[in-house]
Amino acid sequence: SITGHTLDFVCTLISNINGLIKFLLAPPLNINNISYHTFYVRALYSYDPYNDPLIPCKDIGLTFQRGDILRIVAYDENFFNKNDTYISWWQAYRENSYDIQTDLCLAGLIPSDNLQQKRTNLLKVIS
């Protein structure tokens, strides 16, 4: 399984394989919980996936700054269960990201509103 490995690790692994490679793409267990209704949000905080211990794969996270406009294209409030707590991620684009020399125009994972509220509340309790 390649779950949890970095993109570089997977690319290196695939490049070292000789012969036929078969990929199995599996849909979510309950596709009815996923919404593909697009909506926009303004970021109230800055986010860097490489500093987030909860994101399932840092390489597919979307970095954004406070004030950025994000277009949410897919979301599921019960996406990922960690330690009996549902942690959910949204797929988003950063609007006005047209610099094709960087990955700014690619979609990536961002913490859901629910996840970020839980994280903020936990930090308040700790401090």
The sign one gets for the Cα dihedral 78, 23, 62, 5 is positive
Residue 49: pLDDT band with limits 50, 70, 90:
very high
The pLDDT, as a whole number, for residue 3 is 66
**What does the alpha-carbon distance between residue 64 and residue 42 come to, in Å, rounded to a whole number?**
10
Range from 38-42, 82-86, 100-104, 123-127 that averages highest in pLDDT? 38-42
Does residue 85 have a pLDDT over 70?
A: no
Range from 16-20, 67-71, 119-123 that averages highest in pLDDT? 67-71
The pLDDT, as a whole number, for residue 87 is 61
Does residue 33 have a pLDDT over 50?
A: yes
What residue ranges define each of the domains in the chain, with the CATH number in brackets? 31-126 (2.30.30.40)
Residue 86: pLDDT band with limits 50, 70, 90:
low
